[in-house]
Amino acid sequence: MGLEDAKNQVDQAFTRDDLKGHSYENAFGGATSFLRRKYTKDLTGVDIAITGVPFDQAVTNRTGTRLGPRAIREASALQPYDPPYGWDFDVLSERAIVDYGDLAFDYAQVSAFPATLTNHIKGILDAGVASVALGGDHYISFPILKAYYEKYGPMSLLHFDAHSDTWADDDMERIDHGTMFYKAIKLGYVDPKTSVQVGIRTYNEDTMGVTTIDAREVHEGGTAAAVEKIKAVLGDNPTYLTFDIDALDPAFAPGTGTPVWGGLASWQAAAMLRDLAGINIKGGDIVEVSPPFDTTGATAIAGAHVATEICCLLGARMRKT
Q: How far apart are CA 138 and CA 244, in angstroms?
A: 7
Least Cα distance to 167 among 135, 127, 138, 133 occurs for: 138
- 79-118 as b/e, with b when 16 or more CB fall inside 10 Å? bbbeebeebeebbbebbbbbbbebbebeeeeeeebbeebb
Q: How far apart are CA 165 and CA 125, in angstroms?
A: 25
161 carries a ligand binding annotation: yes
Q: How far apart are CA 225 and CA 207, in angstroms?
A: 21
- Is the peptide bond prior to 101 cis by the omega test (within 30 degrees of 0)? no
169 carries a ligand binding annotation: no
Contact in structure between 185 and 170 (CB atoms under 8 Å): no
82 carries a ligand binding annotation: no
The helix/strand/coil state of 142 is: helix
89: left (phi over 0), alpha (psi -120 to 50) or beta: beta
165 carries a ligand binding annotation: yes
Q: How far apart are CA 230 and CA 234, in angstroms?
A: 6
Cα angle 226, 228, 230 (rounded to 5 degrees) comes to: 70
Pairing mode, strands 211-214 and 156-160: unpaired
Binding site feature residues for Mn(2+): 138, 161, 163, 165, 244, 246
Binding site feature residues: 138, 161, 163, 165, 244, 246
